[in-house]
Structure 1
Amino acid sequence: MTLTDRRIQPPLTADERTTLTAMLDFQRDTLAMKCEGLTADQLKDRAISPSGLSLLGLVRHAAEVERGWFVNVINGESSRSPWTPAGSTDRADFDVDDADVDEAFAVWREECGRARAIVDAAASLDVTGRLGEEVFSLRYVLAHMIEEYARHNGHADLLRERIDGETGE
């Protein structure tokens, strides 16, 4: 069996901003597709030992990187993770044993929406933000996010196939 592909294909010819944002949305949709139709237990399953990766952990991680790069770096905010206790430096996005699936997907969708709004409001891809002493352009952040999702979607593909045999690009 293969997963149903409802993703919107990025345009083959478009300006840079359209190409980058469409590619990022395609990668976001790929993660959603890999999670489609699974139970909460399956989404939390760490299907490839000894890794602690799970599909739900990847969704929570994606919410974190959306927030970190777009909200905190490009928009200059200091928004914190809902999953990491105040004062802690531990990354709790992959700790899904007691995670609420609906909350995780809602937070991820919200962060994707915030990211889209930040990109749409930016005057150009040359807009910059800071992370410590380093300066990043919006262009870099979009390219990095495409890479981030693509890498983790490879993980998601393996996890999904191991969980129930479903495959699909």
Structure 2
Amino acid sequence: MDDSRWHLSHSTDERALLLAFLDFQRDALARKCSLEDDAELRRRSVPTSHLTLIGLLRHLAAVERWYFQVIAAQQSPPELYTETDDPAEEFTHLATATGESARATWHTQVDHSRRITAELALDDALAHPTHGRPLTLRWILLHMIDEYARHNGHADLIREAIDGSTGE
């Protein structure tokens, strides 16, 4: 895999750097979750954990929705997962979840995020809808890089347990 982040110019602006690093993390999740077998995508990293590749896709779709649509765009989109009252439903309620539907939902949320990001400046003032703390698009992009990087580490471990693949 050619990591395009290393090909960016030393004069690349901050916005392009942030977007390149976020897209790298998004692409890494897509690669790690590229399995076609739903049973493998539902496989837990360890028996006591609820972490699965399908759950990570669903969770990150919900995170994309929250930070970009709800906070950045101040929209009120419908919740993605509402079959139960469990606040961790994207991780725990997987009986009907499929890799195809999880990937489609995640891609749709990423597409929304990219459109919203294109309309905002890094320093645009945004307010968190529940506690009102001020945020910026810069903060959201950095947070999303962190969120993906952390969960991609989880995905690495899950994928290694499934088929031995590591890294990329």
Q: Same fold (TM over 0.5)?
A: yes
* Cα separation, 2, equivalents of 1:38 and 1:162: 16
Quote the residue 2:107 is aligned against: 109
How far, CA to CA, are the matches of 1:93 and 1:7 in structure 2?
30
Matched with 1:39 is 37
Q: Residue 126 of structure 2 corresponds to which residue in structure 1?
A: 129
Structure 2 unaligned regions, length at least 5: none
Q: 81, 88, 93: which one pairs with 1:91?
A: 88
State the distance in 2 between where 1:6 and 1:38 align: 24
1:6 Cα deviation (Å)? 6.3
Partner of 1:9: 5
CA contact (8 A) 2:62 2:80 kept: no
Residue in 2 that maps onto 1:63: 61
Contact 1:58 1:152 in 2 (8 A): yes
Partner residue in 2 for 1:19: 17
Give ranges in structure 1 of 5+ residues lacking alignment.
Answer: none
Alignment counterpart, residue 81 of structure 1, candidates 65, 79, 82: 79
Q: Note if contact 2:123-2:136 (Cα within 8 Å) is conserved in structure 1.
A: yes
Contact 1:43 1:55 (C-alpha < 8 Å) held by counterparts: yes
Q: Distance in 1 between matches of 2:67 and 2:90?
A: 16
User: Partner of 1:93: helix, strand, or coil?
Assistant: helix
Percent of counterpart pairs with the same letter?
Answer: 40
Decide which moves more: 29-38 or 153-162: 29-38
Cα distance, 1:38 vs structure 2: 4.0
Size of the aligned set, in residue pairs, is 163
SS of 1:9 mapped into structure 2: helix
Do the aligned partners of 1:84 and 1:90 also contact (CA within 8 Å) in 2? no
Question: 1:167 maps to what in 2?
Answer: 166
Residue 97 of structure 1 deviates from its aligned partner by 2.5
RMSD (CA atoms): 1.8
CA distance in 1, matches of 2:2, 2:94: 27
Deviation of 1:89 after TM superposition, in Å, equals: 6.2
2-side partners of 1:78 and 1:36: how far apart? 30
Question: Which stretches of structure 1, 4 residues or more, deviate above 6 A after TM superposition?
Answer: none
Per the alignment, residue 148 of structure 1 pairs with 147
